[in-house]
A and B are shown apart, each in its own frame.
Chain A
Amino acid sequence: MADGVVPLKLRPRRGFLQTMRTDAWWIGPLLTILGFGAFLVWANVRVFENDHYYSGHGGFNLATNYLTPFYSPLLFDVAEKAFPSGHAILSEKPGFLPGFVSAAALILIFPAGFRFTCYYYRGAYYKAFWGDPANCAVGEPRSGYLGERTLPLVLQNIHRYFLYAALIFILILSWDVLTAFKFYEVDQVTGRRTGAWRVGIGVGTVLMAVNVVLIAMYTLGCHSLRHLVGGKRDCISDKPLSAKMYNCVTCLNNRHMLWAWCSLLSVGFTDIYVWKLARGEWMDYFFTF
């Protein structure tokens, strides 16, 4: 804030990564680079793979019905599939889409955008990937700084719109968990599943359920949601529902970083699990009622 006096004469700024800190300040940013970086690479591999998103290809007398969260909601099946997954919204891929565009590429923008614009992740990846700053009281690589005042980072302010989408995704993923309780009977001659199914629980069902709970804990602890349900008001005591929601979101928000990482890991691992099942490399353990 301009105060009409001569600029302050400060000690020279420290160079990139220069600091007097003696603790292992680099561990946090390094873990972010490794964790977030590995997830980004894996997510891109899966988006462009455009296959192995559904584990329902049997071979035994019962087939699982797991859909990976990376492809949910499934807009369309891969055309070459021998039989449809039963999860696809459209019967076939729209003709105007280029060949390399997978169903995941069209929907992942929403959860990815939600995480990318998340207040916690912003602080973490600005440090880890942009060194702005590399960590608290550690020198930076650039002297210029624009922050989130101008393009492109002013666009981070659309976080609440990604939140609206993320709330819908909780419902979609919950539906996937419900369908993961279905185990289809497999025709022993053709090896293809029949229409008949039984209710059961498998490792995949549990993983998908844990995943949606963790995603909900992360999403429902969002800073923007906290603002929208009550934080925007100066007086909340006369709105008991708003006060209750504000307190609940605040409770989750206190551990927002924890939920952010746990849900990221669970999404990644659930996807790997379904991917392995779909490739026939792992076998699901389940029982039916």
Chain B
Amino acid sequence: MPGATLRIWRGDKDGGDFFEYRSDYEDGMVVLDVVHKVQAEQANDLAVRWNCKAGKCGSCSAEINGTPRLMCMTRMDTLPTDRPITVEPMQAFPVIRDLVTDVSWNYRVKRQIKPFAPRKPDAPDGTWRMQQADVERVQEFRKCIECFLCQDVCHVLRDHHKHEEFIGPRFFVYSAALEMHPLDTADRLADLKQAGSIGYCNITKCCTKVCPEHIHITDNAIIPLKERVVDEYYDPLKKLVRLFIPRRAER
């Protein structure tokens, strides 16, 4: 049975350090399995959040060898075991304990985004009609499992701690899902520009790279929203056109 050394960050909001645990693992095991094995055999008080173990609940987000990933979707045989594997909590959120972070900031941000505001129903029975081609684009965004790995890797939050000014890639995806929806009538562009600070995004595509659902966050959500903001605020020709054609009519 092969073995590996896990360097697991342990501590709380006041600080902590890495501790090494040597453990065996079997073929097919993921990092979360080995963390659980360490928890069962060597460190009963090790805190780790998990739920589905199938990459769908977004609970076990952490940083494995420095890269934000889901522990349950990272197979041990994809990692080099000739040196210790580091496992640490997400950098962009406050640590509660060990590998568990407090991601409640994300829920507070989400509450501040204008909710879905559909147009009047198309049919007398209160239902709408829309084409698959129109709704297809936003369906990609509905795959998000809210693991917040994209938020964690975004340097605006991770390194610059702009949590008070910037909503992060997860909520650009969320906003895009609403803003581009064929039935939606709300206008979120002013919020995206000001309160959401979409201008802070400098298109590193790190969010796209770490997304476990392979959502094209940058190309399909953030850049299209940036372009809509350009339409509204930075394009003088567009402003001229807008004198004659209101935005809603154009869309």
Contact = CB atoms under 8 A, between A and B. Distances in A.
Interface of A: 1-3, 5, 7-11, 13-14, 19-23, 119-120, 122-123, 126-127, 132-133, 136-137, 139-140, 143-145, 147-150, 153-154, 157-160, 223-224, 226-227, 231-238, 243, 253-254, 256
**Which applies to chain A's interface (DSSP): helix, strand, loop or mixed?**
loop
14 contacts: A10-B94, A21-B65, A123-B204, A132-B202, A133-B159, A133-B204, A147-B199, A147-B202, A148-B201, A148-B202, A153-B202, A157-B234, A232-B231, A236-B133
Contacts of B108: 3, 5
Interface string B149-190: 000010110111111111100010000000011101000000
Given A22-B65, A149-B199, A3 B91 contact: no
Contacts of B80: 22
Contact of A126 (B95, B204, B250): B204
Nearest to A3: B108
Contact of A139 (B159, B202, B219): B159
Given A22-B83, A236-B133, A253-B219, A2 B195 contact: yes
Contacts of A8: 93-94, 105, 161, 163
Contacts of A224: 227
Given A122-B203, A149-B200, A227-B228, 20 more contacts: A1-B112, A1-B165, A10-B92, A11-B89, A14-B91, A22-B65, A22-B86, A132-B155, A136-B204, A137-B158, A145-B200, A154-B234, A157-B230, A157-B234, A157-B235, A159-B230, A234-B180, A234-B181, A235-B130, A235-B131
Given A1-B167, A157-B230, A237-B134, A136 B67 contact: yes
A271 B226 CA distance: 35
A21 B227 contact: no
B206 interface: yes
Interface of B: 13, 63, 65-68, 80, 83, 86, 88-89, 91-95, 105, 108-109, 112, 130-131, 133-134, 153, 155-156, 158-167, 171, 180-182, 184, 195-197, 199-206, 209-210, 218-219, 223-224, 226-228, 230-231, 234-235, 250-251
A287 to B, nearest CB: 44
B224 A231 contact: yes
B66 A21 contact: yes
Contact of A13 (B88, B134, B161): B161
A21 B66 CA distance: 4
A232 B251 CA distance: 7
Nearest to A20: B66
Contact of B159 (A13, A122, A227): A13
Contact of B91 (A10, A22, A122, A154): A10
B80 to A, nearest CB: 7
B202 to A, nearest CB: 5
Contacts of B205: 123
A158 B230 CA distance: 8
B153 A137 contact: yes
B229 to A, nearest CB: 8
A243 B199 contact: no
A227 B224 contact: yes
A154 B68 CA distance: 29
A23 B66 CA distance: 9
Nearest to B183: A234
A232 B250 contact: yes
Contacts of B95: 11
A53 to B, nearest CB: 33
In order of increasing CB-CB distance, the 7 nearest A-B pairs are A20-B66, A21-B66, A149-B199, A136-B206, A227-B227, A147-B200, A237-B131
Given A1-B166, A136-B204, A253-B219, A233 B251 contact: yes
Contact of B227 (A127, A158, A232, A243): A232
A231 B91 contact: no
